[in-house]
Amino acid sequence: MAETPGEYNAKIIAEFHASEGRVGGPWEGIPLLLLHHTGAKSATARVNPVAYIRDDSRYFIWAANGGAPQHPAWYHNLKAHPVTRIEVGNETVGVVAEEMTGAERDRLFARAADRYPQLADAALKTDRVFPIVVLKPTPAS
């Protein structure tokens, strides 16, 4: 029986916690953060491992969902509940999520696609534009 996405994520999260944010296998060398988010409809607390890039003091992530025709659930959850937290390495950081648009979105997407060619490949699989979400640390972090 194949493992579910939830089971897969649970393994990644466990490895993340056991190794101060480093994960091996297909994620070797790719910086991951743990994105805490609250279900837009269910209000259920969730955690997803997500690749990221630093942009000054901010972190940015992309809602590629492997090139699927729909955005990942975490994207909709952040739109509904943008104040959240992330785990980076062994730190927990309070953040506010903001979707980028226009030239800033394009700049950040180009940077991510340059760093991760598989992201550019995934963008070719779908007609949707991958949202770019910036996670800005809150002053209390």
Q: Determine how many CB atoms are found less than 10 A away from the CB of residue 110.
A: 11
CATH at 101: 2.30.110.10
Tens of pLDDT, residue by residue over 40-60, are 999 999 999 999 999 999 999
Tens of pLDDT, residue by residue over 21-36, are 999 998 999 999 999 9
Give me 133's structure tokens: 């979400």
Total domains in the chain come to 1
Residues spanned by the domain of 100: 5-137
Indicate yes or no: pTM above 0.85: yes
Q: Determine how many CB atoms are found less than 10 A away from the CB of residue 74.
A: 23
